[in-house]
Structure 1
Amino acid sequence: MSFASRWLAPRLHRLKERCPQLDVHLDVTDINVDLRDGQVDAAIRYGSGHYPHAAAEQVLEETVTPVCSPAYRALAGGLAAPVDLLGCTLLHEDRMLADWAQWLARAGVERSHRARQGPAYSHGSMAVEAAIRGEGVALGRSSLVSDDLAAGRLGAPFPDVRLQAERGYDLVYRVGAGNDPKIAVLRAWLAQEIRLFLETRFKADKHS
């Protein structure tokens, strides 16, 4: 749901511009729909890449890195080193395995009970919104924070320390439908959007 609202939906107008005759119906759900009944042409799933009775192509790998508002960073003394995060309010996304304990270990910070403390949210977008409001530092998924980094609502104090998330985003469709014109248009559009996203993310990281 977070990916659909913060990354996919704001970009869908360019799919319509690319293919005006294509009517797009976006249904956001945590339920894995059955693609075999013909009611849904394709899905984008945050998962392992393996789905029963469906074909899948990974379209985007996901990484996580700390993000916070510029005001919070200033109040926290600038966050010059990863260890400084132990004095911050850490915001968590429930069920995300790539968590604060793993990121801090990657950054060379000794194990601390602080890695488990702080508010937790069921969806990553909620943690990101809390970070924008200045309530702490979120471990932001790259697709959810890219626009906010580019706009300056968030900054990434340690952009070079990224942790690979346990899952990525997959384009999923019926077995044998890979050459369907609608799937081909969707695949090409996603590839273009992801290229642009990765370029924008890199620029945002350089200026965080």
Structure 2
Amino acid sequence: MTGNFPNKSYISEFLILGFSDSSEQKVPLFLLFLFIYLFTVLSNLVIIVLICLDRNLQKPMYFFLRNMSVLDISYTSVTAPNFLNMIITENKRVSFRSCMAQLFLFNYLGTVEYMLLTSMAYDRYQAICNPLCYYRNMNPKNCYLLSGMAWVGGFLITLPITLSVSALSFCSSNQINHIYCPPVHPT
């Protein structure tokens, strides 16, 4: 039983094919992707800390950039740690529930990204087209409202889709030709 929908699936786990099974490529691939992941997380943490500490950066544009940095850390953390674990342990199996959770988070964060980018576009529109009213229109309350709508709206949009996908029957191949779970193709 997945969510409120019974899964009539014969498949209880998926096999992530991703890269080759070459043992000599395992360590270099792991180190490369670990470096990229750590660089992504640390660089976004630096952005968040700098925006929080510098009073000159307490403006709507930087508020949304801070949200984008949190989003970027979350987005990469959905797939990268599991992928790194698969490289090292060579266990390429992902349970159905884990795959659906990864699908939800991946789509949720993607939706939030588009909504935050729309909010940032609105911020720039206000700055260019209404410069005299900019700080009235883009006050902290409105920035929090736009950001909150993005985070909550992404959840509300993605949840029904994920529940619908989890109710589908997956009875053919359990192999996924990617390095993470979301590209699931139901039959």
Q: TM-score normalised to the size of structure 1?
A: 0.26
Larger fraction in helix: 2
Structure with larger Rg: 2
Taking CA–CA contacts closer than 8 Å with sequence separation of 6 or more, which of the two structures ends up with the larger relative contact order?
A: 2
Larger fraction in strand: 1
